[in-house]
């Protein structure tokens, strides 16, 4: 069937009739028969024509909105939340949190609020108040996000502090199933985050990785597996020395997760002799990167003549050596020529800047603007410390307008001899040189990821001053790190290796447009999306996306 305009002539006048006709064959010849005539087209008013079109489209399920009855209200964030919610559900976190909060008489959904806090730190990290302002611009199918209130987030943090350890335990088992987890190596790293003002009772002055010794802080420890997936986290007072955190971390891994044997991989600054002895007594072995000041670096490196057999990977030479003075320990001496070149350039630049700064100070002293001996030395030392070049110069101020400095050529030569070298130590006899080096590279990746904890999910600043809420906030950040790392691993397994930051940016254009048609609100998914966004959604099993979501 189809519409056809049939022309009719009555005398000198011509008329066009709108007809519904159908085709058929009469003894093999094509014919058309008239089913209905709608009359003279010129006598059908415009609104009647539109009604006819609308009626037919409605009957066939093809109704198109008329522009005068359609308005686009706004465009909402959708793709990011959709992807993160899928990962959240894969980790069984909705069921876990609901189970752990089933006896708490909360008048809000703790699981949903926890997810929103976690997701927001990956999408647009900011305060809880900023989160409530963002929610009206976001869409999560099946939930009324505009009804969420800021005090619900604060109260959720209090609850999270009480159930965080149970959630970690459930996640440990779930991640073992999802990723066939292998725990022969456990990587341990620390960070700190400071507070504006006094902070909670755990906040204290201590060694600041943020270079803010003037602010109180807390220390955060994270243990992860070789793929960078968190096992557990701990918080410590801000004045807790790094080495003092180790005993509690080891006990946590053994008591809560039953990890009785592993190789503990950490930065050398954590590993005092007492800690190494404690690890050995716990059944754990260790692998650490040694600061050059703690190892007889020149003795280990000076007698090595590198050969092609020492090449491990690209631009790295490595050789395992032992020392009679340290039975049971194995050292891996590593040399990277690219690192050597970079170290020389950095040192030369520091010396150049330091020389210029000292020359400027020398002119000030000669002009009489700085006379006191102690003040001159203090000013020179401060400049060298800021430029990290103190070891390369000797200083002398006579106090009579004289200030001299000299470059220590012996120290420069000594440092240059170790450019590109680094030293690893382990008591694991079964690890060969390549395995030791790979473990060290993994530790570096973990350290970079941990630094990204502050950069990507904005761990700092912490705007809470209650201990429970601070710990709840830290746990939310840990869950954000877990969700981001899980996304990276799934994309890597699907052949689309992307950082979580890149993935979030790629998913940003996947939005929901909220339309109103004849008083009815429809949520329509944007259909033109960047190829990278579709690749991410496909890797997570989220394609094809519907055109219209729940209304």
CA distance 488 to 450: 15
As a whole-number percent, the residues of the chain with pLDDT over 70 amount to 93
Token pair in block for residue 265: 């991989």
Q: What integer is the mean pLDDT of 367-385?
A: 88
CA distance 276 to 40: 98
In terms of Cα–Cα distance, which of 501, 454, 465 is closest to 191?
Answer: 454
pTM of the model: 0.75
Least confident of 117-126, 268-277, 427-436, 446-455: 446-455
| Domain range summary for the chain, segments of one domain joined by + | 2-64, 74-180+466-551, 182-336+420-465, 339-416
Q: What integer is the mean pLDDT of 379-403?
A: 87
Is the per-residue pLDDT at 454 higher than 60? no
Quote the pLDDT of residue 69. Answer: 66
Quote the pLDDT of residue 9. Answer: 85
Quote the pLDDT of residue 90. Answer: 95
Quote the pLDDT of residue 7. Answer: 87
pLDDT per position as a tens digit, 235-281 = 999 888 878 888 888 889 999 999 888 888 888 777 777 888 888 78
Is residue 549 within 8 A of residue 76, CB to CB? The reply is no
Q: What integer is the mean pLDDT of 3-20?
A: 87
Average pLDDT of the chain is 85
Query: If you ran DSSP here, which 8-state letter would residue 351 be given?
Result: H
Confidence of residue 534 (pLDDT cuts 50, 70, 90): very high
Quote the pLDDT of residue 496. Answer: 92
Confidence of residue 399 (pLDDT cuts 50, 70, 90): low
pLDDT: which is higher, 381 or 244: 381
Q: Which residues pair with 217 in a beta bridge?
A: 194, 204
Confidence of residue 452 (pLDDT cuts 50, 70, 90): low
Quote the pLDDT of residue 457. Answer: 47
As a whole-number percent, the residues of the chain with pLDDT over 90 amount to 30
Q: What integer is the mean pLDDT of 372-399?
A: 88
Quote the pLDDT of residue 358. Answer: 94
Q: What is the CATH number of domain 182-336+420-465?
A: 3.90.350.10
Three-point CA angle 543, 544, 549, nearest 5°: 110
Least confident of 341-345, 399-403, 523-527, 546-550: 399-403
In terms of Cα–Cα distance, which of 100, 219, 83, 28 is closest to 538?
Answer: 83
pLDDT: which is higher, 289 or 530: 530
pLDDT: which is higher, 550 or 424: 424
CB neighbour class for 184 (10 Å; exposed up to 12, middle 13-18, buried from 19): middle
Confidence of residue 487 (pLDDT cuts 50, 70, 90): very high
pLDDT: which is higher, 95 or 53: 95
Is residue 253 within 8 A of residue 259, CB to CB? The reply is yes
Q: What integer is the mean pLDDT of 154-170?
A: 93
pLDDT per position as a tens digit, 141-150 = 888 888 888 8
Total number of residues shown for the chain: 551
CA distance 420 to 524: 57
CA distance 278 to 272: 10
Q: Specify the pairing of strand 330-335 against strand 421-426.
A: antiparallel
Virtual torsion, Cα 125, 137, 131, 129, nearest 10 deg? 130
In terms of Cα–Cα distance, which of 24, 22, 28 is closest to 2?
Answer: 22
Quote the pLDDT of residue 497. Answer: 92
Confidence of residue 510 (pLDDT cuts 50, 70, 90): very high
CA distance 476 to 157: 8
Quote the pLDDT of residue 340. Answer: 92
Least confident of 73-82, 187-196, 414-423: 187-196
Quote the pLDDT of residue 170. Answer: 95
Quote the pLDDT of residue 540. Answer: 95
Q: What integer is the mean pLDDT of 426-453?
A: 80
Residue 77 Ramachandran class (φ > 0 left, ψ -120 to 50 alpha, else beta): beta
Is the per-residue pLDDT at 89 higher than 80? yes
Q: Specify the pairing of strand 520-525 against strand 511-517.
A: antiparallel
Q: Which residues pair with 538 in a beta bridge?
A: none
In terms of Cα–Cα distance, which of 68, 60, 52 is closest to 20?
Answer: 52
Highest mean predicted confidence (pLDDT) among 58-67, 131-140, 335-344: 335-344
pLDDT: which is higher, 19 or 56: 19
pLDDT per position as a tens digit, 458-484 = 555 666 678 888 899 889 989 999 999
Question: What string of H, E and C letters represents the secondary structure of 464-475?
Answer: CCCHHHHHHHHH
Q: What are the CA-CA distances from residue 98 to residues 81, 167, 363 (Å)?
A: 20, 11, 70
pLDDT per position as a tens digit, 118-139 = 999 898 876 666 788 888 889 9
Using the CB atoms, write b or e for 90-121: b if 16+ within 10 Å: ebbbbebbeebbeeeeeebbbbbbbbbbbbbb
């Amino acid at each position: 069937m189809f519409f056809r305009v049939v022309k009719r002539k009555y005398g000198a006048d011509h008329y066009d009739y709108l007809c519904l006709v159908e085709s058929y064959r009469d003894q093999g010849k094509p014919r058309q028969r008239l089913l209905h005539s709608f009359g003279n087209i010129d006598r059908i008013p415009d609104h009647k024509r539109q009604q006819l079109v609308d009626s037919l489209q409605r009957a066939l399920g093809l109704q198109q909105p008329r522009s005068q009855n359609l308005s686009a209200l706004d465009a909402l964030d959708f793709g990011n939340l959709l992807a993160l919610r899928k990962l959240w559900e894969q980790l069984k976190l909705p069921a876990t949190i609901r189970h752990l909060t089933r006896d708490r008489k909360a008048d809000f959904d703790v699981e949903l609020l926890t997810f929103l806090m976690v997701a927001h730190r990956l999408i647009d990290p900011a305060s809880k108040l900023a989160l409530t302002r963002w929610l009206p611009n976001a869409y999560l199918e099946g939930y009324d996000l505009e009804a969420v209130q800021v005090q619900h987030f604060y109260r959720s943090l209090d609850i999270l502090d009480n159930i965080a350890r149970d959630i970690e335990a459930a996640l440990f088992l779930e991640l073992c199933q999802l990723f066939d987890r292998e725990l022969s190596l456990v990587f341990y790293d620390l960070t700190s985050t400071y507070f504006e003002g006094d902070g909670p009772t755990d906040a204290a002055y201590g060694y600041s990785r943020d270079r803010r010794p003037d602010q109180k802080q807390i220390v955060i420890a994270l243990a992860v597996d070789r793929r960078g997936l968190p096992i557990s986290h701990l918080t410590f007072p801000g004045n807790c020395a790094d080495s003092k955190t180790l005993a509690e971390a080891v006990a946590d891994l053994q008591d809560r997760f039953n990890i009785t044997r592993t190789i503990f991989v950490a930065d050398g600054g954590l590993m005092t002799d007492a800690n190494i002895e404690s690890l050995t007594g716990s059944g754990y072995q260790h692998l650490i990167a040694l600061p050059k000041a703690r190892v007889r670096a020149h003795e280990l490196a000076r007698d090595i003549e590198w050969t092609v057999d020492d090449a491990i990977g690209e631009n790295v030479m490595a050789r395992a050596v032992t020392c009679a003075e340290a039975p049971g320990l194995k050292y891996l001496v590593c040399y990277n020529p690219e690192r050597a070149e970079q170290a020389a350039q950095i040192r030369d630049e520091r010396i150049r800047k330091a020389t210029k700064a000292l020359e400027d100070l020398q002119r000030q002293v000669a002009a009489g603007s700085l006379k006191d001996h102690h003040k001159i030395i203090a000013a020179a030392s401060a400049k060298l410390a800021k430029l990290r070049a103190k070891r390369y110069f000797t200083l002398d101020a006579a106090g009579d307008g004289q200030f001299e400095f000299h470059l220590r050529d012996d120290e420069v030569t000594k440092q240059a001899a170790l450019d590109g070298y680094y030293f690893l130590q382990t008591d694991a006899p079964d690890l060969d040189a390549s395995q030791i080096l790979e473990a060290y590279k993994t530790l570096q990746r973990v350290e970079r990821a941990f630094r990204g904890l502050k950069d990507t999910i904005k761990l700092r600043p912490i705007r809470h001053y209650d201990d429970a809420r601070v710990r709840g906030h830290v746990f939310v950040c840990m869950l954000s790190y877990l969700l981001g790392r899980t996304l990276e691993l799934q994309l890597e397994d699907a052949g689309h290796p992307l950082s979580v930051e890149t993935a979030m940016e790629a998913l940003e254009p996947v939005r929901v447009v909220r339309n109103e048609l004849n008083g009815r609100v429809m949520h329509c998914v944007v259909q033109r999306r960047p190829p990278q966004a579709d690749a991410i959604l496909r890797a997570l099993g989220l394609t094809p996306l519907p055109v219209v979501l729940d209304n």
